[in-house]
Amino acid sequence: MLRVYGEEIASRLLLGTALYPSPAIMVEAVRASRAQIVTVSLRREAGGGGAGQDFWALIRELGVRVLPNTAGCHSVKEAVTTAQMAREVFGTPWIKLEVINDAETLQPDVFGLVEAAGILTREGFKVFPYCTEDLGVADRLLTAGCEVLMPWGAPIGSARGLNNVYGLRSLRAHFPDVPLVVDAGLGVPSHAAAAMELGYDAVLLNTAVAKAGDPAAMASAFALAVEAGRTAFEADPIEARDMAAPSTPVLGKAFLE
């Protein structure tokens, strides 16, 4: 059971709702993933807001929690205002806080992130910061009031998996009691399993499912991988070693020379 901001969430997979071939396939994928939290956004819409209203009705029918994001925001002011607007529209104090620095890598602006996290926490938001694996930044975010951290695995949409396993492992070791979610950059279910085997509490992904040939099947595959990885972590995996260690007992082996 994932615990975050005092809530218990049955699934350790958080799924994005963007980039699917159709709304119907998005719904199928969310169901197949068994995700209990989906990410959503706010955008300009012409003509009275028709498509946005339809989308929101679909999400409400799914009966999942929503985690609105501040995707695309490059300044503290933009991110804070977007969060305020999202809280009203989606009726939740949860916010996936993104303050982006670099347009090519979508790397977080960690200085802006810490500042915005502090402002939003004081306004009563429950902030899910999209951050890096930097330990100092993580510490600042926790001091600012965040009760969960969401370090990237790799740049958003890159499908590279866990770029810095050492960094993610260090973050896990430094903050054993903080819920940690690998957010972004996963491509295949084995990436998600690897994150869970490191002891991460959950993974958040979107593109890997939405752009797969069969999004619902891929969502199901990710759900299985997340469950397998978590079970493996709880089962206490053995350490890797350089040389072989025979598994069949040596004692009692016949002498047949």
Partner 1 sequence: MLIKVNGEARSVEPDTLSAVLDALGYGEAIVATALNGEFVPVEARTETRLRDGDRLEILAPMQGG
The torsion of the CA quartet 7, 20, 69, 181, rounded to 10 degrees, works out to 50
Say if residue 199 carries a ligand binding annotation.
no
Closest distance to partner 1 from the beta carbon of 92 (Å): 12
What one-character-per-residue DSSP string does 172-193 give?
HHH-TTS-BEEES---SHHHHH
**Cβ contact 181:159 at 8 Å:** no
- For residue 90, give every residue at least 6 positions away whose Cβ sits within 8 Å of its Cβ, in sequence order, or none: 40, 66, 68
Decide: is 156 part of the binding site for partner 1 (CB under 8 A): yes
Query: Is 84 a residue that touches partner 1 (CB under 8 A)?
Result: yes
Looking at the Cβ atoms of 40 and 162, the one nearer to partner 1 is 40
Task: Give the DSSP H/E element, type plus range, for residue 47.
Answer: none
Among this protein's residues, is 96 annotated catalytic? yes
Q: Does 71 bind partner 1 (CB under 8 A)?
A: yes
Exactly one of 11, 33, 36, 69 binds partner 1 (CB under 8 A); which one?
69
69 is an annotated ligand-binding site residue: no
CB 48 within 8 A of CB 81: no
Catalytic residue among 96, 126, 211, 253: 96
Residues in contact with partner 1 by CB under 8 A are 16-20, 26, 39-53, 55-56, 59, 68-69, 71, 77, 81-82, 84-86, 88-90, 156-157, 206-207
Catalogue the active-site residues: 96
